[in-house]
Chain A
Amino acid sequence: MSDNTPILELKNVDKSFGPIDVLHDISLKVRAGEVLCLLGDNGAGKSTLIKTLAGVHKPTRGTILMDGEPVEFSGPRDAQEKGISTVHQFGGTFPLMSIGRSFFVGVEPTRGWGPFKVYDRKTANEIAVKAVQDFGITRIDDGDRLVGGLSGGERQSLAIARAVHFGARVLILDEPTAALGVKQAAHVLRIVNEAKRRGLAVIFITHQVMHAMAVGDHFAVLIRGAIAADFRRGEKTREEITDLMAGGETMADLEAQIETYMQSHEGQPPPPAQ
C-alpha cells in the first residue's frame, strides 16, 4: 500500500432519509497523519456525513473505500472494528457513570469466564486514567469519579482518548469544541494535534473557522449537503473561508447590509432572523 492511498475515501456518496435529500455527491479523501476539517453551517449535513462514515447510516448511493478497497459497514461496531472511531456531537459520555466504566462501555474488560465473567473495575480504571493522562489531562487521576463531575473539555478529552485507545486509525470528531470556552477548546485542539502526530487520520468537524485553521491540513466546506469547496492549508484566508461558509454571500456584504439597516432605523440593529 503506497503512502498516498487514502485510509478512507468517499466516492459520489448520496444520503437521503425517505424523501429528504441530505447529502449530494460527496467525494472526500482522508490520509494518515492528516487532519481534514469539515466546515459548514448548522444543518449543512456534517453530522449526517460522519454518521455515514461511522456505520450509523448506510449511504443511499456511492461507495466508501478503506485502503482503496470498497467497504460496507453493518453498524457502528463494525466501523469501529475496522478502525473508525467517532466522538459524536452531544454524546459519547455518560454523566452518571464512572470514568472507568464509561471509557469501556461496550468493550468492558473482564476476569473469569462464561456466565461468571466479572467486570474488571481495577483494570478499567487504570487503563482509562492512563489513556487520558497520556494526552496531557493530568487532572483526571481517579477512575471512580463520575463523568458528570468533569468539565466539558475534560469530557471531550476523555472521549477522544477513548477513541484513540481502541485502535482508531481514523478519528472522527463532531464539533468537539462547540460548547467549550477558549481555554478548554485549546485543550481539545492540542489533543487533535497529538492524535495527528501519532499518525491517525482525523476528521474534525466545526463551524468555527479559527479552530479549523489551528489544526487543519485539508479543508472541505459543506453547504446544503454538497461540497462547496475543497482546499489545502494556506490556500485560503480566514475571511475567504468564512465567506464560503456563509454560502457565497461575503461577510463584508452582510456587514454593509446591517450598517445600512442601522442607519435607516435610528441605530437599531436588525431583528434576528426567525
Chain B
Amino acid sequence: MNTRNSVLASSVPSGGESIKVTIGQFSRRPEAGSLLGLIAVFVFFALVGGKVFLSPAGYASWLNVAAEIGIVALPVGLLMIAGDMDLSIGAVIPAASLTVAIISGHYGLPEIVGISAGLGIGLLVGFFNGYLVNRTGVPSLIVTIGSMFGVMGLTLGLTVLIAGSTGVSLVPGPTIKAILGDFVGGMFQVTIFWWLLFVAAFFQLLHVSPVGNWIFALGGDKVSARNAGIPTERLTVALYMLSGFCAAFVGVSQVLVYQSAQVLAGQSFIFNSIMCVVIGGVLLTGGAGSVVGIVLGTLTFAIVNQGIYFTGIDPNLGSVIIGALLLVAVMMNDKFRLMAMSYATKKKK
C-alpha cells in the first residue's frame, strides 16, 4: 500500500502528538505485522537456540540463506504486487549456474563470458515469460510453470549432452571469487552484501521512482492502468526480465560459492520465495506490498529455516512453523488492509 511511504518520507515528528500519529500510522501498515512476526521468531530461537544461535556463526547461517532467497524474493514480490507470479525462477537458478560452469569450467572460457551468458539466460527466460503472459492472456502461474519445466528439461538435456553428468564443477579465479563467491570473516557470504544492494535498488524502484506507482496500479486494476496510459505490457516484460535476472544472479553466485552446479538446485526457491513475500505482507492478489515487508518476511523465513537446527526440535517442525506463519500472515494482511481503508485521517494540526 502506498501510505507506507508517508512514514519514510514525511518530516521528522516534532512533538509527542506527531509521534503518536506516526505510531498509529505504522500500526495500520502491513509491515507492522511482519515486524512483530520477525521479533517473535527471533526471540523464540534466541531463547531456545541459546548461545550458538546468537553467535556470529548463528547469524551467518540464516543471513546466508536469507541473502540467496532475498535476492529472488524481491522481484517475485514486485511481480506479485503487479498481479503476477513467477515460478520459473526455480529453473533459471540452476540454468544460470550450469551455464557458467559449462562455459567457464567445462570449456575453460573466461569467467566473464560464462557469467554474462548465465545472466543473459535469466533475461531471456524473463522476456519469454513476459511476452507469453501478454500475448496469450493465460494466467502467469500457468505460463511460468510451463517455462519452468521447459527450462528445466533443456538444462538437464544439454548438461548431460555436453558434460556427461548432471553436475559440473568450476574453480573460479580469485577476483571473481572475491566479488561474488567469497565468505567474509570465513562465514558471511558476500551474497549478503549484494542482497543489501538489491534491496536498495528495489526500494528506489518501488517506493521512490514514479515507476513504482505504475506497478501498484498494474496490480490494482490492469485495465484502468492501461487506460491511464501506463505501458502495461512493457512493464510486465520488464518485471519478468528483472525476475529472470535476479534468479540468474543467485545461480551465478551459487556456482562461485559452492564451485559446482547441480541441475535440481533451484526447486526449493519457488515456494520459499513466495512464502517470504507473503509473510512480508504482499497481497496475493496484487496491488499492495512493500520492499521493507519483503525483507522482513525473508529474514523471518530464514531464521525459522535455520534456527530450528540450533534447537533440540525436530527440523521437520520448522516447516510446520513456516506454514503457520504463512496462514497468520495472510489473515493479518487482510485485517490491516481493511483497517487502512476504513481509516479517515484525523486533522494533523
Given A101-B213, A117-B209, A146-B340, A86-B3 contact (CB < 8 Å): no
Does A190 lie at the interface of the complex (its beta carbon under 8 Å from any beta carbon of B)? no
Interchain CB contact under 8 A, A105 and B345: no
Q: Cα distance A274–B287 when bound, in Å? A: 36
- Nearest CB of chain A from residue B315's CB, rounded to whole Å: 38
Task: Tell me the nearest residue of chain A to B225, going by C-beta.
Answer: A105
Q: How distant is the Cα of A104 from the Cα of B291 in the complex, in angstroms? A: 22
Q: A56-B227, A91-B227, A144-B345 are in contact. Are A121 and B6 (CB under 8 A)?
A: yes
B187-232 contacts to A, CB under 8 A, are 208-210, 212-214, 216-217, 220-221, 223-230
Q: Does B337 reach chain A (CB closer than 8 Å)?
A: yes
Q: DSSP class of B's interface residues: helix, strand, loop or mixed?
A: helix
Once bound together, how far apart are the Cα atoms of A179 and B341, in whole Å?
20
Q: How large is the interface on A (under 10, 10 to 19, 20 to 34, 35 or more residues)?
A: 35 or more
Q: Which of A54, A97, A106, A110 contacts B220 (CB 8 A)?
A: A97
Docked complex: A141-185 residues within 8 A CB-CB of B: 141-142, 144-146, 148-149
Residue from the list A77, A88, A115, A145 in contact with B344, Cβ < 8 A? A145
**A76 in the interface (beta carbon within 8 A):** yes
Partner of B216, one of A93, A96, A145: A96
User: A146's closest neighbor in chain B, by CB?
Assistant: B341
**Given A119-B208, A121-B6; A106-B221 close (CB under 8 Å):** no
Q: Is A258 an interface residue (CB 8 A)?
A: no
A107 to B209, CA, bound (A): 12
Report how far A250 CA is from B73 CA in the complex, Å: 62
In angstroms, Cα B226 to Cα A233, docked, is: 35
Q: Does A6 lie at the interface of the complex (its beta carbon under 8 Å from any beta carbon of B)?
A: no
Majority DSSP secondary structure for residues of A touching B: loop
A193 at the interface (CB under 8 A from B): no
Chain B, Cβ-Cβ closest to A124: B213
Taking a contact as CB atoms under 8 Å apart, the answer to whether A95 and B208 are in contact is no
Question: Which residue of the partner chain B has the closest CB to A108?
Answer: B210
Contact yes or no, B343 A91, CB < 8 A: no
B230-A106 in contact (CB<8A): yes
Residue B63 at the A interface, CB < 8 A? no
Q: How far is the CA of A163 from the CA of B330 in the complex (A)?
A: 36
List chain A residues, Cβ under 8 A from B2. 96-98, 101, 144, 146
- The reply to whether B227 and A76 form a contact with Cβ atoms under 8 Å apart is yes
Contact check, B227 vs A101: say whether CB atoms are below 8 A apart: no
Is B9 located at the chain interface by the 8 A CB criterion? yes
Q: Is the CB of B6 within 8 A of A54?
A: no
The reply to whether the CB of B1 lies closer than 8 angstroms to some CB of chain A is: yes
Bound: A106/B224 CA distance, A:
10
B288 interface residue, CB < 8 Å from A?
A: yes
| Nearest A-chain residue to B285, judged by Cβ | A96
The reply to whether B229 and A101 form a contact with Cβ atoms under 8 Å apart is no
How far is it, in angstroms, between the C-alpha of A77 and the C-alpha of B228 when the chains are bound?
7
Contact of A77 with B210 at beta-carbon distance under 8 Å, contacts A98-B2, A144-B345 already known = no
Cβ contact within 8 Å between A149 and B343: yes
Neighbouring B residues of A119 by C-beta, 8 Å: 208-210, 212-213
Which residues in window 308-345 of B have CB below 8 A to A? 337, 340-345
Contact call A104/B227, Cβ cutoff below 8 A: no
Please tell me if the beta carbons of B6 and A96 are within 8 angstroms of each other in the complex: no
Answer yes or no: A92 CB below 8 A from chain B CBs.
yes
Interface flags for B130-145 (1: CB within 8 Å of A; 0: not) read 0000000000000000
Does B283 sit within 8 A of A, measured CB to CB? Answer: yes
In the assembled complex, how far is the CB of residue B23 from the closest CB belonging to chain A, in whole angstroms? 16
Q: Are B220 and A80 in contact (CB under 8 A)?
A: no
When distances are taken between beta carbons in the complex, the residues of chain A under 8 Å from B226 are: 76
Is B5 in contact with chain A by the CB < 8 A criterion? Answer: yes
B229 touches A106 (CB 8 A): yes
Q: Which of B209-264 contact A (CB under 8 A)?
A: 209-210, 212-214, 216-217, 220-221, 223-230
**Residues A106 and B344 in contact, CB atoms below 8 Å apart:** no
Whole-angstrom distance between the alpha carbons of A235 and B205 in the complex?
56
Contact of A94 with B208 in the complex, beta carbons under 8 Å: no
CB contact list, B6-62 vs A, under 8 A? 6, 9
With CB as the reference atom, state the residue of chain B lying closest to A100.
B2
Q: A118-B209, A146-B340, A149-B342 are in contact. Are A97 and B6 (CB under 8 A)?
A: no
Docked complex Cα distance between A233 and B221 (Å): 37
Q: Determine the distance from Cα of A142 to Cα of B347 in the docked complex, in whole angstroms.
A: 8
List, in ascending order, chain A residues with CB within 8 A of B228's CB.
Answer: 76, 92, 105-106
Which residue on A lies nearest to B222, using beta carbons?
Answer: A91
- CB distance A96 to B229 under 8 Å? no
Residues of B within 8 A of A76 (CB): 226-229
CB within 8 A of A92: which of B227, B283, B340, B342?
B227
Q: List 16 A-B contacts (CB under 8 A).
A: A92-B224, A93-B221, A94-B217, A94-B221, A95-B220, A96-B216, A97-B213, A101-B2, A101-B213, A105-B217, A107-B229, A115-B209, A118-B208, A118-B209, A145-B343, A149-B340
Q: Which 4 A-B pairs have the closest CB atoms?
A: A77-B229, A108-B210, A94-B220, A148-B341
Binding site for A on B (CB under 8 A): 1-3, 5-6, 9, 208-210, 212-214, 216-217, 220-221, 223-230, 283, 287-288, 337, 340-345, 347-348
